Amino acid sequence: MWDVRSNVQVALYDDHVVVTSPGTLPAGLTTEQCLHGQISVLRNPIVAEVFLKLGYIEKFGTGIARVRRAYRELINQPVFDVRGGMVTVTRPVVDAFEDSAEELQVLKALTGGQILPRGGIERETGLSRVYALAALLDRGVIVRHGVGRATTYERAS
């Protein structure tokens, strides 16, 4: 960001990368627009034009959408956090997790905001017993609600 005299920080871990960019969003750009609207407010149009001509960037305002597309079939999703005068992106290292076929089936059954009990997941996936639920819960990919027969599951947001 151009309004803060501080450096972008990149932290590398075994299973994820965290990029923290100091500075607030440009005036008039909301967090929602930044994360979902593919809206770009250039802080320095001259630098942006140079980067475009050098081939460092493809288009303006498409980076977050491209990151989301790259991870759309994966269990572990990137996290975008805009607050406290900084923007932080946490991107899982793709090879750090081996998504089993069963885990992918469970996640497919829970797409679109579906909230299902174990039996519903078994019907949706065709699995007779869903063992992937524990692993997905441990990794924070899905969330459990309720107890006993009233237990349901949904994808974590």
Percent of the chain with pLDDT over 70: 89
Phi, psi of 114 (to 5 degrees): -60, 135
Output the pLDDT for position 1. Answer: 44
Q: Over the stretch 19-59, which tens digit does the pLDDT of each residue have?
A: 888 888 777 788 888 887 667 777 677 887 887 787 767 66
pTM, rounded to two decimals: 0.54
Asked whether residue 3 carries a pLDDT value surpassing 70, the answer given is no
Q: What is the 3-state secondary structure (H, E, C) of 34-101?
A: HHHCCCCCCCCHHHHHHHHHHCCCCCCCCHHHHHHHHHCCCCCCCEEEEECCEEEEEEECHHHCCCCH
Question: What are the structure tokens assigned to 112, written together?
Answer: 């679109």
Sheet containing 79-83: which strands, arranged edge to edge? 9-12, 16-22, 86-92, 79-83
pLDDT-derived band at 4 (thresholds 50, 70, 90) equals: low
Q: Which domains does the chain have, with CATH numbers?
A: 9-96 (3.30.565.60), 101-155 (1.10.10)
